[in-house]
Amino acid sequence: MTQQIERILVGVDGSADSRRALEWAMLLAGRFDAELLAVHAVGLLSRLGDGATVPSQSHREELRQVFESEWCAPLVHQGTNYRTFLEDGPPVLVLLQVAERERADLSVVGSRGEGGFAELLLGSTSHQLAEHSGRPVLIVPGERPGSA
Alpha-carbon gap, residue 64 to 62, rounded angstroms: 5
- Rule CB under 8 A: which of 17-46 touch another protein? 42-45
Listed in sequence order, the residues at least 6 apart from 54 whose beta carbon sits closer than 8 Å to its beta carbon are none
Minimal distance, residue 118 CB to another protein, in Å: 9
If binding is defined by CB under 8 A, does position 88 make contact with another protein?
A: yes
For residue 39, give the nearest of 98, 79, 93, 89 by alpha carbon.
Answer: 98
- At residue 11, φ and ψ (nearest 5 deg) are -80, 130
If binding is defined by CB under 8 A, does position 90 make contact with another protein?
A: yes
If binding is defined by CB under 8 A, does position 120 make contact with another protein?
A: yes
CA distances from 17 to 33, 39, 56, 65, 112 (A): 24, 14, 28, 20, 6
| Among 14, 47, 70, 73, contact with another protein (rule: CB under 8 A) | 47
Using DSSP's 3-state secondary structure scheme, residue 72 falls into coil
Q: Looking at 45-105, which runs of residues are DSSP E strands?
A: 82-88
Minimal distance, residue 11 CB to another protein, in Å: 12
Using DSSP's 3-state secondary structure scheme, residue 124 falls into coil
Minimal distance, residue 107 CB to another protein, in Å: 17
| Among 10, 38, 94, 129, contact with another protein (rule: CB under 8 A) | 94
If binding is defined by CB under 8 A, does position 50 make contact with another protein?
A: no
If binding is defined by CB under 8 A, does position 53 make contact with another protein?
A: yes
If binding is defined by CB under 8 A, does position 14 make contact with another protein?
A: no
Q: Which residues in this chain contact another protein in the complex, by CB under 8 A?
A: 42-45, 47-48, 51, 53-55, 57, 60, 87-94, 97, 113-115, 117, 119-122, 125
